[in-house]
Amino acid sequence: MESRAKHGFDGTQGAVNQGKSDLGRKPRSVSVHDIVLRLVALATTLVAAVVIGVAKQTKTVSIQLSPTGPSMPVPVVAKTAYSSAFVYFLVANVIACVYSAISLAISTAKRASRSNLPLLFSIVDIAMVALLFSGNGAAMTFGLLGAHGNSHLQWKKVCNVFEKFCFDVAVAGIVSMLGSLAYVLLVLLAIVSLHKRSP
Amino acid sequence: MESRAKHGFDGTQGAVNQGKSDLGRKPRSVSVHDIVLRLVALATTLVAAVVIGVAKQTKTVSIQLSPTGPSMPVPVVAKTAYSSAFVYFLVANVIACVYSAISLAISTAKRASRSNLPLLFSIVDIAMVALLFSGNGAAMTFGLLGAHGNSHLQWKKVCNVFEKFCFDVAVAGIVSMLGSLAYVLLVLLAIVSLHKRSP
């Protein structure tokens, strides 16, 4: 027989089953918070990875090849592969997305209820926080440079040319930030839940 | 009377005091791991903040003002304030450094032993992980652009001119990464400790 503890948050560890214990521990069911947050993480990292993965824009700009010569139309391309920061951001979101899917599948199957898997989930959740936030920091820095440039280093802004590409990067960054916050909440709720359960 | 639990890691929550309880919970002493990791975090974020904060290099380069005119020596400066990524990195490390000092002082004074402060520490520790990793990602992206440039966007590398400044940035980045990992370990050990203590 299972009954959920009513007294607070349940992170990865989930609510406490008050019933019989098989392995000397009270078995734990997976909480609704856990499922919802992993779903949010899955959806946001998937959207962020897809948006940044397919982001590409080609524009034709006029370039004067010599000071006295005529200007010529030249196609210029912006794509994710041209920036190691965006590639890192993409890889980080793909890893987080795959892990979100795996942990969500296991959580919903309740296979973690009588094992050390909740602990393992929390450990990987922290790694996801570190991975996603470093990816967000990297992508945001490159995106801001694209939007504003850096006059001190004579790095010119490019978002006045590649508006659509920059918009895609901004969308991916915001969506990925939501996924990152979902993982922060997963770790937070796991700690709060464990803290309430500890004697 | 206090005795430390021998059976594993102690994160923020520390080892379990087996003695009498004042508030319905067993009071907890602060573990050695906790003190050491907060010391490491304090030292590394302090060093990173100071190194990036004072990093500045002035070089004289020859610039030809017109195609036919003579080249003139012009002093050029590299400093942290010229990059919003480095400023964010600096602010992140200062915040983490101040928090490390405060949490270390409270931990060593053992004022957290019979309160919810260990839980509060864990919550802020997670925030530090997010803050520091996003700062590292930002600074690393700007640093790599300085070292290699981006040929697609015609952003030229500058580390061939500002070797010392780029070296300082690399040192600050590596040291800050150690501080970030210290906070990851603090959160991890808190969860492992709580997991072992939970029924």
| A chain contacts of residue B150, beta-carbon cutoff 8 Å | 82-83
| Domain annotation covers residue A23 | no
Average confidence (pLDDT) over A15-26: 45
- CA nearest B81 in A: which residue? A152
| B chain contacts of residue A119, beta-carbon cutoff 8 Å | 191-192, 195
| Domain annotation covers residue A15 | no
Q: Structurally, how many domains does chain B consist of?
A: 1
| B chain contacts of residue A92, beta-carbon cutoff 8 Å | none
A113 phi, psi to nearest 5 deg: -65, -30
| Domain annotation covers residue B77 | yes
| Domain annotation covers residue A1 | no
pLDDT score, position A3: 41
Is B136 close to A134, i.e. CB distance below 8 A? yes
| pLDDT level of residue A114 (50, 70, 90 thresholds) | low
| Residues within 8 A of A (CB atoms), B 63-122 only | 78, 82-85, 88, 116, 118-119, 122
| pLDDT level of residue B22 (50, 70, 90 thresholds) | very low
Average confidence (pLDDT) over A33-54: 97
Which site among B134, B176, B184 would you substitute to test the A interface, given the most A Cβ atoms closer than 10 Å to its Cβ?
Answer: B134
Nearest to A129 among B126, B152, B195 (CB): B126
Q: For the segment B36-88, what is each residue's pLDDT rounded down to a tens digit? A: 999 999 999 999 999 999 999 999 888 777 777 788 888 889 999 999 999 99
pLDDT score, position A73: 87
Longest dimension (CA), chain B: 87
| pLDDT level of residue B13 (50, 70, 90 thresholds) | very low
- CA nearest B16 in A: which residue? A199
| Domain annotation covers residue A157 | yes
User: CB of A183 within 8 Å of any CB in chain B?
Assistant: no
Is B123 close to A188, i.e. CB distance below 8 A? yes
- Helix ranges (H only) for chain B are 32-54, 84-108, 117-148, 163-197
| A chain contacts of residue B84, beta-carbon cutoff 8 Å | 141, 144
pLDDT score, position B196: 85
| Domain annotation covers residue B154 | yes
Which site among B83, B141, B181, B192 would you substitute to test the A interface, given the most A Cβ atoms closer than 10 Å to its Cβ?
Answer: B141
Is A137 close to B142, i.e. CB distance below 8 A? no
Q: For the segment B103-144, what is each residue's pLDDT rounded down to a tens digit? A: 999 988 865 556 788 899 999 999 999 999 999 999 999 999
pLDDT score, position B21: 42
Mean pLDDT, chain B, integer:
85
Q: Which domain holds residue B76?
A: 32-197
pLDDT score, position A7: 41
pLDDT score, position B45: 98
- Tokens 């010229």 -> residue: B82
User: CB of B155 within 8 Å of any CB in chain A?
Assistant: yes
pLDDT score, position B48: 98
pLDDT score, position A71: 82
For chain B, the straight-line distance linking the first and the last C-alpha, in angstroms and rounded, comes to: 24
User: CB of B133 within 8 Å of any CB in chain A?
Assistant: yes
pLDDT score, position B3: 41
pLDDT score, position B71: 82
User: CB of A179 within 8 Å of any CB in chain B?
Assistant: no
Contact pairs from chain A to chain B, CB under 8 Å? 144
Average confidence (pLDDT) over A93-113: 88
- Residue A66 pLDDT > 80: no
Is A191 close to B188, i.e. CB distance below 8 A? no
| Domain annotation covers residue A17 | no
| Domain annotation covers residue B179 | yes
Burial class (CB in 10 A: 0-12, 13-18, 19+), A72: exposed
pLDDT score, position B197: 80
| pLDDT level of residue A2 (50, 70, 90 thresholds) | very low
Is B138 close to A135, i.e. CB distance below 8 A? no
Closest of B160, B167, B141, B124 to residue B83, by C-alpha: B141
pLDDT score, position B67: 73
Task: Out of A20-34, A163-177, B36-50, pick the least confident.
Answer: A20-34
